[in-house]
Amino acid sequence: MTNIQLYNKVCFENSKTITERYSTSFSSAIQLLHPSMRSAIHGIYGFVRLADEIVDTFHDADKENLLAEFKTETYKAIAQRISLNPVLHAFQMTVNKYHIEQHLIEAFFCSMEMDLHKKKYETAKEYNDYIYGSAEVVGLMCLYIFCNGDKEKFMSLESSARALGAAFQKINFLRDVKDDVKLLNRTYFPNVDFDLLNDEVKQKIVDDIEIDFRNGLKGVRQLPVGSRFGVYVAYKYYYSLFKKIKRLPTKAITQQRVRIADYSKLLIVFKSFFRYKLQMMY
């Protein structure tokens, strides 16, 4: 192994560690992808995670400046095909290898910049624009890897990948309502006052997410074999979380962070495996 190969390996391992420490569910799903895809997906997650930490966690720092520097260094890394930041080096390798289009990265940064100052999303357009940049484009970046240059396959799955990314993000919004509202003073759902949340409003949100999940699952069933099972397990993780949120009393959503127990996650994997083998993915 040459020195540059070692450096590349260490950078991807760094992004893998970030993935494992921040999201056990997502990390487990990645392990179910074909080995050739795993490092690249880790590369995307590590990048996204760092940007998210800047806007959501580094409260004692100059977030705006940090994000601007991170953005500049990202584009520089992609253009120069190298970075001394291990996360950005892994990300640029992924972007350049799979020819991920820059407009997706630009949309992602746009949503991260919105998180710096915007506290309420008052229109459907603002809400949808934020979700596109913060989640749907991440799904599309992953789809580039899953399709591995097959443009026709990518185009046929693009809308489903966006729907699944949107569903995951909206579930994150519901799961994290307590922290978003009380700690970050941030509300994503348009014109929803969570202090006055009622069953009717909750049901409208749930119905919208259900449509995204339904459209996303159509694409999961058509993914290339190497990615299908791993993405299906991720879908089942989030759909299980969705079902748990649906069952909760409306007020409870604002008072606790909903989780799936580790033993339940293991059960999801086993059940998903049999459904996948029997071609009964639902």
- Measured in residues, the chain has a length of 282
> What pLDDT shows up at residue 186?
84
> What pLDDT shows up at residue 281?
85
Contact 177, 194 (CB under 8 A): yes
Identify how many contiguous H helices and E strands the chain contains and give both numbers. 13, 0
> What pLDDT shows up at residue 185?
80
Contact 47, 91 (CB under 8 A): yes
Longest Cα–Cα distance in the chain: 61
Span 23-48, mean pLDDT? 95
- Examine the pLDDT at 129 and tell me if it is beyond 80: yes
> What pLDDT shows up at residue 112?
97
pLDDT higher at 20 or 194: 20
User: If pLDDT is split at 50, 70 and 90, which confidence band does 44 have?
Assistant: very high
- Examine the pLDDT at 220 and tell me if it is beyond 80: yes
Span 46-70, mean pLDDT? 96
Task: Encode 90-107: b = buried (16+ Cβ within 10 Å), e = exposed.
Answer: bbbbbbeebebeeebbeb
In tens, the pLDDT along 86-121 reads: 999 999 999 999 999 999 999 999 999 999 999 889
User: If pLDDT is split at 50, 70 and 90, which confidence band does 196 have?
Assistant: confident
CA distance 144 to 131: 19
**Torsion of the alpha carbons at 136, 137, 140 and 144, rounded to the nearest 10:** -170
Residue listed under structure tokens 């996204």: 48
pLDDT higher at 94 or 191: 94
User: If pLDDT is split at 50, 70 and 90, which confidence band does 179 have?
Assistant: confident
Of 202, 181, 184, 101, nearest to 143 (Cα)?
Answer: 101
Mean pLDDT of the chain, nearest integer: 93
Q: Domains of the chain (ranges plus CATH)? A: 3-277 (1.10.600.10)
Span 22-50, mean pLDDT? 95
User: If pLDDT is split at 50, 70 and 90, which confidence band does 191 have?
Assistant: confident
Contact 92, 83 (CB under 8 A): yes
